[in-house]
Chain A
Amino acid sequence: MNYVKDLETKANYSMTKKIISDALSAPEIDRESRTTVGKITSDDPRVVCKNVNVYYGENRAINDLSLEIGNHEVISFIGPSGCGKSTFLRTLNRMNDTIVSCRVSGEIKIDGKNIYDRDLDVVPLRAMVGMVFQKPNPFPKSIYDNVAYGPRIHGLAADKRELDAIVEESLKKAGLWDEVKDRLNDLGTGLSGGQQQRLCIARTIAVNPEIILMDEPCSALDPIATAKIEQLIAELSERFTIVIVTHSMQQAARVSQRTAYFHIGHLIEVGRTNDIFTNPKHPLTEDYITGRFG
């Protein structure tokens, strides 16, 4: 009972905060303020983060971050290097577990379930929340085996025919099928960078995730491969919830409906992508958008 009350007070508190910040409406925000500006809530929330802190040993990499991510929404995280975008992204499917010194406090709920619960199994969580990394990391196996890996370990295909179908469908969705259909047995590591990244996306969607986390997926790619992946994100967004970290503001503008700006461990501002880019409210966001960030 107390717990519920506590939540209510917290919700009220953040609501009040939002109302006040809306009323004050913008440019007067103090440059030193680290309170998140903008609408952190979503009308149809899928992921709900409350007061998340992430520590590496003694260092706090994320400070008191609260954010909701909506269903079937594409949200991009922008901000200078080292501000904690990857760190926060990795908390969403508990990839931080592999880093010994990393500790997470606060609450992250996906579909109402706290993913940091003691008795939560990370295997189904990670199958539901897939991840694409900055550097393409295909397994040193054939293209086919790369895509079939996830379905195999989760037993998604009853026989070879079903597996073939999953592989084909995933590669098609990732826009790679036409380029590799004649050489499925070649090594995945032998593809070009852009193809490898699309292979990694195919591998991720082959396990039918509902949320896909992408950490600078295009930073190592040329504009053509980037355009292909952006188009892919647009198509995928009809069925998946996508969180993408990017250094390219154009990319954020092209692919996402919402944008979150991070600054040295703090979530500074969240809002509709259009608003963030045309009318940033926090001075730090404005500096970054206009390229004044040093």
Chain B
Amino acid sequence: MSPSILLIILLGLSYLGFRLGKNRALASVGGKIKDLHSLPSFYGFYTSLWSIIPALLVTMIWLSLETSWLANAVIAGLPEAMQSLPESRLYLILNDIRNVVNGMTYSDRIDPLIADAAKRYSQLQSLSHIVLSLVAIGLSIAGISFSLFRINKSHRARNTVETAVTVMMVICSTLAIFTTLGIVFSVLFESVRFFKVIPITEFLFGLEWSPQTAMRSDQVGSSGAFGAVPLLTGTLLVSLIAMMVAVPVGLMSAIYLSEFASPRFRAMAKPTLEILAGIPTVVYGFFAALTVAPFIRDTGASLGLTVSSESALAAGLVMGVMIIPFVSSLSDDVMNAVPQALRDGAYALGATQAETIRQVVFPAALPGIVGSILLAVSRAIGETMIVVMAAGLAANLTFNPLEAVTTVTVQIVTLLVGDQEFDSPKTLAAFALGLVLFVATLLLNVLALHVVRKYREQYE
């Protein structure tokens, strides 16, 4: 019996447990719900939890141990000569066996030894699954009987079920934390490997970025240049331009929407603005590369400036438009949440609408506004597609918005696109760049938290 069928059976059993538990509870008081400690459905959930959780836990543990146990058993059955092969070769053989088991070989000639082993593998596997199914179903039935035995009118099923739900919520919330930690550590370890090849000081302070030369490890002079400064300045420049568009436009529209616009206009304009954030970035990319960049170049040319056809300005402007709704929509929400009583207080002192907004509404909404700007900044720093298409790939160290630049994210993409050795500095550099990006956004967050705490004007 395959694990997926087992799962369906377990779900069916738990449903059965639900009905049985509920009926049992009702029967224990002769249908008078008022006499029960908890509502009948809690007894149902109580029974179904007991029927499924132990069985599922055992199944999961079993399945996770099964692979290594099967591998050991199959290898033990191989001839001596094969068993003494080095680990990595053995691993390949095992892979072959698994492929045969799963029917993933398309070659006609299969080594009889392998075919034999594969047969044994699948036999053992189905045996293991049968035993597992018996154990799990047995546990499930035992769970149902146990809880049916415990249910009576004063049994506190609600408390048990609520505790179980709380535990599940705790598990879900820690899951997110562990995933983050996992990502951080995997990036960190690869970066450490990179820093063994390229010193961290060279990476952080080097002024030249040209990883292309390191493409072939047997080439003479394959070291390449891994100075991240041009990428950092490029990211900074593009993000800065984007924020210079998004923050003023976004805040102004938020102020208009929350303080001046009629409710009807607001109800229409807000979703319309939010559509901007929903357009795929590739589409913004074309728009930047095909419309905005040539326009900037031509305008620049008519003013006598030399503008490259791919420029930080084009990418930044379009990116700014894209992140306007991040600023406007959230800021509008927080300003709307400022109590009318505060505005009335200011108006009653003879404050004008402008003074009220600037000195009362805005400071009270500041934490939320900073939050929205921060979200926009991280979006700008992380944005890749628009920059690839509109700002180019050239790692120029410049603060001139009319020149082509490149950003950290763009370089991560170009480093990892295509075939290369996994442990070459070129590939590892992507992880180091990822780490830099992560640390930068983290610092930004800490800074923003600090700002918010310092200038917060808390109402209520």
Interface residues of A (CB under 8 A from B): 93, 95, 98, 100, 122-127, 130-131, 133, 135, 137-141, 149-150, 153-154, 187, 189, 200, 203-204, 207
Shortest distance between the CB of B75 and any CB in chain A (Å): 70
In the bound complex, residues from chain B placing their C-beta under 8 Å from that of A138 are 345
Given known contacts A135-B341, A140-B457, what 11 new A-B pairs fall within 8 Å (CB)?
Answer: A95-B347, A98-B343, A98-B347, A100-B262, A123-B351, A125-B350, A126-B348, A130-B348, A149-B349, A150-B349, A153-B359
Q: Is the CB of A189 within 8 A of B350?
A: no
Q: B355 in the interface, Cβ–Cβ < 8 Å? A: yes
B308-361 with Cβ < 8 A to chain A? 339-352, 355, 359-360
Shortest distance between the CB of A108 and any CB in chain B (Å): 17
Q: Is the CB of A95 within 8 A of B350?
A: no
Q: Which of A122, A154, A200, A207 contacts B345 (CB 8 A)?
A: A200
Q: Is the CB of B349 within 8 A of A127?
A: yes
Report if A153-B457 is in contact (Cβ < 8 Å); known contacts: A133-B344, A139-B345. Answer: no
Q: Which of A100, A125, A140, A207 contacts B458 (CB 8 A)?
A: A140
**Complexed CA–CA distance, A203 and B262 (Å):** 31
Q: Which 8 A-B pairs have the closest CB atoms?
A: A127-B350, A140-B457, A131-B348, A126-B350, A137-B341, A150-B349, A137-B345, A140-B459
Of B339, B351, B459, B460, most buried by chain A (CB within 10 Å of CB) is: B351
In the assembled complex, 8 residue pairs joining A and B whose CB atoms fall closer than 8 Å, in A order, are A130-B349, A133-B341, A137-B339, A137-B341, A139-B345, A153-B355, A189-B458, A204-B349
Shortest distance between the CB of B227 and any CB in chain A (Å): 47
In the bound complex, residues from chain A placing their C-beta under 8 Å from that of B341 are 133, 135, 137
Q: Is the CB of A95 within 8 A of B348?
A: yes
Q: B364 in the interface, Cβ–Cβ < 8 Å? A: yes
Q: B363 in the interface, Cβ–Cβ < 8 Å? A: yes
Of A95, A126, A138, A204, most buried by chain B (CB within 10 Å of CB) is: A126
In the bound complex, residues from chain B placing their C-beta under 8 Å from that of A126 are 347-350
B430-460 with Cβ < 8 A to chain A? 457-460
Q: Is the CB of A140 within 8 A of B364?
A: yes
In the bound complex, residues from chain A placing their C-beta under 8 Å from that of B343 are 98
**Complexed CA–CA distance, A274 and B363 (Å):** 47
**Complexed CA–CA distance, A93 and B351 (Å):** 13
With an 8 Å Cβ cutoff, the count of chain B residues facing the other chain is 24
**Complexed CA–CA distance, A154 and B355 (Å):** 11
Q: Is the interface of B mostly helix, strand, loop or mixed?
A: helix
In the bound complex, residues from chain B placing their C-beta under 8 Å from that of A153 are 349-352, 355, 359
Q: Is the CB of A124 within 8 A of B349?
A: no
In the bound complex, residues from chain B placing their C-beta under 8 Å from that of A130 are 348-349
Q: Which of B342, B344, B350, B458 contacts A98 (CB 8 A)?
A: B344
Interface residues of B (CB under 8 A from A): 262, 339-352, 355, 359-360, 363-364, 457-460
Q: Which of A98, A127, A141, A207 contacts B457 (CB 8 A)?
A: A141
Nearest B residue to A149, CB-CB? B349
Shortest distance between the CB of B156 and any CB in chain A (Å): 41
Q: Is the CB of A204 within 8 A of B457?
A: no
**Complexed CA–CA distance, A234 and B289 (Å):** 73
Report if A124-B364 is in contact (Cβ < 8 Å); known contacts: A98-B344, A139-B457, A187-B458. Answer: no
In the bound complex, residues from chain B placing their C-beta under 8 Å from that of A207 are 349-350
Of B342, B347, B460, most buried by chain A (CB within 10 Å of CB) is: B347
Q: Is the CB of B352 within 8 A of A123?
A: yes
Report if A133-B350 is in contact (Cβ < 8 Å); known contacts: A140-B457, A153-B355. Answer: no
**Complexed CA–CA distance, A154 and B342 (Å):** 18
Q: Is the CB of A150 within 8 A of B457?
A: no
Q: Is the CB of A140 within 8 A of B363?
A: yes
**Complexed CA–CA distance, A203 and B349 (Å):** 8
Shortest distance between the CB of A208 and any CB in chain B (Å): 11
**Complexed CA–CA distance, A131 and B347 (Å):** 9
**Complexed CA–CA distance, A153 and B357 (Å):** 13
In the bound complex, residues from chain B placing their C-beta under 8 Å from that of A122 are 350
Nearest A residue to B350, CB-CB? A127
Nearest B residue to A141, CB-CB? B457
Of B262, B339, B340, B457, most buried by chain A (CB within 10 Å of CB) is: B457
Report if A150-B342 is in contact (Cβ < 8 Å); known contacts: A140-B364, A140-B458, A141-B363. Answer: no
Shortest distance between the CB of A86 and any CB in chain B (Å): 11
Nearest A residue to B263, CB-CB? A100
Q: Is the CB of B359 within 8 A of A204?
A: no
Nearest B residue to A124, CB-CB? B350
**Complexed CA–CA distance, A138 and B352 (Å):** 18
**Complexed CA–CA distance, A210 and B244 (Å):** 46
Nearest A residue to B458, CB-CB? A140
Report if A137-B344 is in contact (Cβ < 8 Å); known contacts: A149-B359, A187-B458, A189-B459. Answer: yes
Shortest distance between the CB of B290 and any CB in chain A (Å): 45
In the bound complex, residues from chain A placing their C-beta under 8 Å from that of B344 are 95, 98, 131, 133, 137
In the bound complex, residues from chain B placing their C-beta under 8 Å from that of A200 are 345
**Complexed CA–CA distance, A279 and B364 (Å):** 50
**Complexed CA–CA distance, A121 and B186 (Å):** 65
Of B348, B359, B363, B459, most buried by chain A (CB within 10 Å of CB) is: B348
Shortest distance between the CB of A207 and any CB in chain B (Å): 6
**Complexed CA–CA distance, A98 and B351 (Å):** 13
In the bound complex, residues from chain B placing their C-beta under 8 Å from that of A150 are 349-351
Q: Which of A140, A141, A154, A187 contacts B350 (CB 8 A)?
A: A154
Nearest A residue to B351, CB-CB? A153
In the bound complex, residues from chain A placing their C-beta under 8 Å from that of B363 are 140-141
In the bound complex, residues from chain B placing their C-beta under 8 Å from that of A127 are 349-350
In the bound complex, residues from chain A placing their C-beta under 8 Å from that of B345 are 133, 137-139, 200, 203
Of B341, B349, B351, B458, most buried by chain A (CB within 10 Å of CB) is: B349
Q: Is the CB of A139 within 8 A of B360?
A: yes
